[in-house]
Structure 1
Amino acid sequence: MPTAALEPTRDDRSILSLQMDAIHSSSPASFLSVIGASLAVYVYWSADIAAGLLLWFACIFAIAATNVVTAAMRVRGMPESWTDRTWERFVCVMHLLSGLTWGIGGGWMLSIANEQQALVTIAIGLCAVTVSIPSVVHQTAYNLFHFPIFWCYAVGALFSSLEFSWVVAIGFFLLAPFATLVGRDLGRKLVLALRLSIENKRLAERLEERGAALESANRELEVLSTTDPLTGVANRRRLMSFGRAAPASCAVLVVDIDHFKSYNDAFGHVEGDVCLVAVAEALRSSVRPHLDLVARLGGEEFVVVLTETTQDTAETVAERMRTNIENVHASGSKRIRRVVTASIGFSVRSPDRPRSFARLMEEADAAVYQAKAAGRNQVCKAITTRARRIRA
């Protein structure tokens, strides 16, 4: 078989890590073994076997302390050089040592026990196996713990003077494979649950990534749907949405490039597009980026919406736009083939003179025609209905 086929997969490594976490998370329960060992020492205490009892108790305590300390070390990533495979080998060794300590000590005590002492020994041994149930998540570690206990107890029962000792021995011999079968089935289910949790986590990560990608695509689509593809300024859709939400004090400026048809006829549509982009940038550089809006209405016509502004400010900004457009050719920063100018008309709304955005557009558009009729390359303010009546 190729070597690559024997290498653990990413899922196998993840499951092994979760198995080690599950076993170490139950390590504080190891001190229950210290309590059980203390009870056993109390029940069996005798000057004749005191040394053996104390030695056995010391081993139980050392193993419990090692389990707790190493669990804390794993949480802190110590030692750094230890991989999950290293921890797996360590856990198996500790389970074997713990099983042998409990098994040999319990079997020895069972072999010299009376009826009452035997009852305590058997109860403590079964409790020790019960406490180790979390280890079924790793079948090898679980078997290394409970096999020595059950079989050593079986041998101890055979050599005891208990009534029906052979029945107790057979029971413990049978418990070992029975516990293995039960543990294997439970362990498989737990490993399956771990595998499913890994798959669910991976699926959640993929869904999150796709959700983020979809959100980004939606934002991009929103930008594309509200942006003029040539100049990069807002399109008519964005203009109307922005205008309807504009505050009571605002101004609408309509900007129309003078003689743009002749520019296209003389230099071609490609150069005409370059000219439109340059004008759009000149307009953008003339307004507040986060408060005002520059939009292309169509062809060579642009609309600028100024928010929170007055008539004097709107006229100043309009004049700045006209000057910036006229200076594009002189700056030499753009491929503009000749001097380009624009006629600008604007209309202003204030709280004491409320008008709809559509009405502002109409007035500004009419002002543009006034600017063109007056000779182009100039700014004209919209004449309101009241002003027309006064003039008439």
Structure 2
Amino acid sequence: MDADLKLQLDALYKAAPASVMSIVGGLVALSIYWEQGIPAGLIAWFVVVAGVAVVHLISAGLRHYGLPRGFTTRHWARLVCGIYGTSGVAWGVGAALMILEGNAAQALVVCCLITGAVTVTFPAAVYQRAYNLFQFPALLLTCAGLFASGVPYSNALAIAGVLLCGTLAAMARGLGTQLTLALKLSRENSRLVADLQERKAALEAANRDLEIQTETDPMTGLGNRRRLMRVLRASSGALGVLLIDVDHFKSYNDTFGHAEGDTCLRRIADALSRSTIAGVTLVARYGGEEFAIVVDARDHHHVRAVAEAMRKTVEALHDEGGSALRRAVTISVGVALREASEDKTITQLITEADERLYEAKRAGRNRVHDGREQRANRAAVA
């Protein structure tokens, strides 16, 4: 299966930097035979060993960057088998020649180098074929050199080497299967995590959309009463609330029809929401032809100025070029203020703004009522 093979090759190439140890081992071998003049064959052996290690490192870099473009998983498998097989043969032949040419101490060092080589490359057991292509020739050719040499205990060492070769092959088979299974589980877990993250993001987006929908008035696009209450509950300190009612809206509806009435409300909502007056936190449709505005109150005069600006904005709508209004419309505004030192509840604020809205309508409409008269009267009585 190409998918499993790709996982094995990916894991195998992560261990590619270990190829440097082949160069180090080759240098150690050269150093212990230096006094014997280093025959040309030994130098050629080192060039092959080092060259294979360099090719392995370069191929790892190319694979990381997806080069060559036309290489399939099967191509990479053949290449890596060639690298491991060539390296194994080179090490086996070199070890056998060095054992035959050297003394007992040198032969022992060579045996240690070969044992270290098959140990360092054991992670390659994830792709058993490549690992066996290295360790079989490396160990068996070394054992052949031991059998042919006259060093002490060479036969015992050769038999131990053959047994080690078989043991490593059996271990590689079991470990390779387990590692491949672990890699497949890791890949599946990564896919599941990515899928869960994608689902989570989609769910969060859906929840945000749902929250927006549940807090948005579908006709005007403004926040609805639910959003208004959420914003008010989250506000603390000085706060201004404006309640707005469109004057004689029933007459507008009865005269021009409900479709024109809806257009009128949308134009008013658009005018209120486009306002750039400082301190406006939220413009919402309170219900019917009523709107609510939350103001980050600086003082009483600022809140009233916001309310007056909103009233004038709506009053001027009919005179704007391209207006969709069939006649001039006006609004009445009730203002409630909670100063920083006060402890008014949301209910008290809305009730106060509602009362002042109806005071504005009783006083003739198209005006702002903020309770200034009542405060003046209370101050006069006091």
Q: TM-score, normalised by structure 2?
A: 0.84
Q: Please, which of 32, 38, 48 is the counterpart of residue 30 of structure 2?
A: 38
Distance 1:102 1:21, change over 3 A: closer
Amino acid paired to 2:327: R
The worse-fitting range, judged by mean Cα deviation, of 83-92 and 146-155 is: 83-92
For residues 179-214 of structure 1, what are the alpha-carbon distances to aligned partners after superposition, in whole Å with 9 as ceiling and x for unaligned? Answer: 222212212222222222222222222222222222
Q: Please, which of 16, 27, 51 is the counterpart of residue 24 of structure 1?
A: 16
Distance 1:192 1:334, change over 3 A: farther
Match of 2:177 in 1: 188
Match of 1:312 in 2: 301
Q: Provide the aligned C-alpha RMSD in A.
A: 3.3
Distance in structure 2 (CA, Å) of the matches to 1:124 and 1:80: 37
Within-5 A mapping of 1:241-256:
241-256=230-245
Q: How many pairs align?
A: 381
Distance in structure 2 (CA, Å) of the matches to 1:368 and 1:54: 101
| 8 Å CA contact 1:234, 1:294 repeated in 2 | yes
Distance in structure 2 (CA, Å) of the matches to 1:144 and 1:277: 78
Match of 1:223 in 2: 212
Distance 1:147 1:129, change over 3 A: same
Match of 1:3 in 2: none
Amino acid paired to 2:202: A
Give the C-alpha shift of residue 300 in structure 1: 1.3
Does 2:328 correspond to 1:339? yes
Give the C-alpha shift of residue 256 in structure 1: 0.7
| 8 Å CA contact 1:254, 1:346 repeated in 2 | yes
Give the C-alpha shift of residue 352 in structure 1: 6.3
Distance in structure 1 (CA, Å) of the matches to 2:344 and 2:167: 88
Match of 2:347 in 1: 358
Q: Please, which of 361, 371, 374 is the counterpart of residue 363 of structure 2?
A: 374
Does 2:277 correspond to 1:285? no
Match of 1:159 in 2: 148
Distance in structure 2 (CA, Å) of the matches to 1:290 and 1:173: 87
Q: Which consecutive unaligned segments of at least 5 residues does structure 1 have?
A: 1-5
Amino acid paired to 1:227: T
Query: Sequence identity of aligned pairs in percent?
Result: 40
Distance in structure 1 (CA, Å) of the matches to 2:234 and 2:107: 87
Distance 1:40 1:92, change over 3 A: farther
Amino acid paired to 1:59: V
Amino acid paired to 1:207: L
Amino acid paired to 1:319: E
Does 2:135 correspond to 1:146? yes
Q: Please, which of 118, 121, 130 is the counterpart of residue 110 of structure 2?
A: 121
Distance 1:33 1:77, change over 3 A: farther
| 8 Å CA contact 2:279, 2:296 repeated in 1 | no
Amino acid paired to 1:28: V
Distance in structure 2 (CA, Å) of the matches to 1:122 and 1:33: 12
Distance in structure 1 (CA, Å) of the matches to 2:131 and 2:269: 75
The worse-fitting range, judged by mean Cα deviation, of 287-296 and 372-381 is: 287-296
Distance 1:51 1:367, change over 3 A: closer
Give the C-alpha shift of residue 123 in structure 1: 2.7
| 8 Å CA contact 1:264, 1:271 repeated in 2 | yes
| 8 Å CA contact 1:247, 1:308 repeated in 2 | no
Q: Which consecutive unaligned segments of at least 5 residues does structure 2 have?
A: none
Amino acid paired to 2:15: I
Distance in structure 2 (CA, Å) of the matches to 1:351 and 1:117: 91
Match of 1:105 in 2: 94
Give the C-alpha shift of residue 17 in structure 1: 5.0
| 8 Å CA contact 1:136, 1:187 repeated in 2 | yes
Distance 1:38 1:75, change over 3 A: farther
Q: Please, which of 181, 184, 194 is the counterpart of residue 205 of structure 1?
A: 194
Match of 1:56 in 2: 45
Match of 1:133 in 2: 122
Amino acid paired to 1:140: R
Give the C-alpha shift of residue 142 in structure 1: 1.0
Distance 1:100 1:93, change over 3 A: same
Distance in structure 2 (CA, Å) of the matches to 1:244 and 1:137: 61
| 8 Å CA contact 2:22, 2:49 repeated in 1 | no
Secondary structure in 1 matching 2:33: helix
| 8 Å CA contact 2:12, 2:123 repeated in 1 | no
Secondary structure in 2 matching 1:231: coil
Give the C-alpha shift of residue 46 in structure 1: 3.6
Does 2:261 correspond to 1:269? no
For residues 220-271 of structure 1, what are the alpha-carbon distances to aligned partners after superposition, in whole Å with 9 as ceiling and x for unaligned? Answer: 2332333223222222232233234445443222111122223333444333
For residues 54-88 of structure 1, what are the alpha-carbon distances to aligned partners after superposition, in whole Å with 9 as ceiling and x for unaligned? Answer: 33334333334444455456556666776665544
Distance 1:292 1:175, change over 3 A: closer
Distance 1:117 1:354, change over 3 A: closer
Distance 1:390 1:121, change over 3 A: closer
Distance 1:328 1:125, change over 3 A: same
| 8 Å CA contact 2:333, 2:356 repeated in 1 | yes
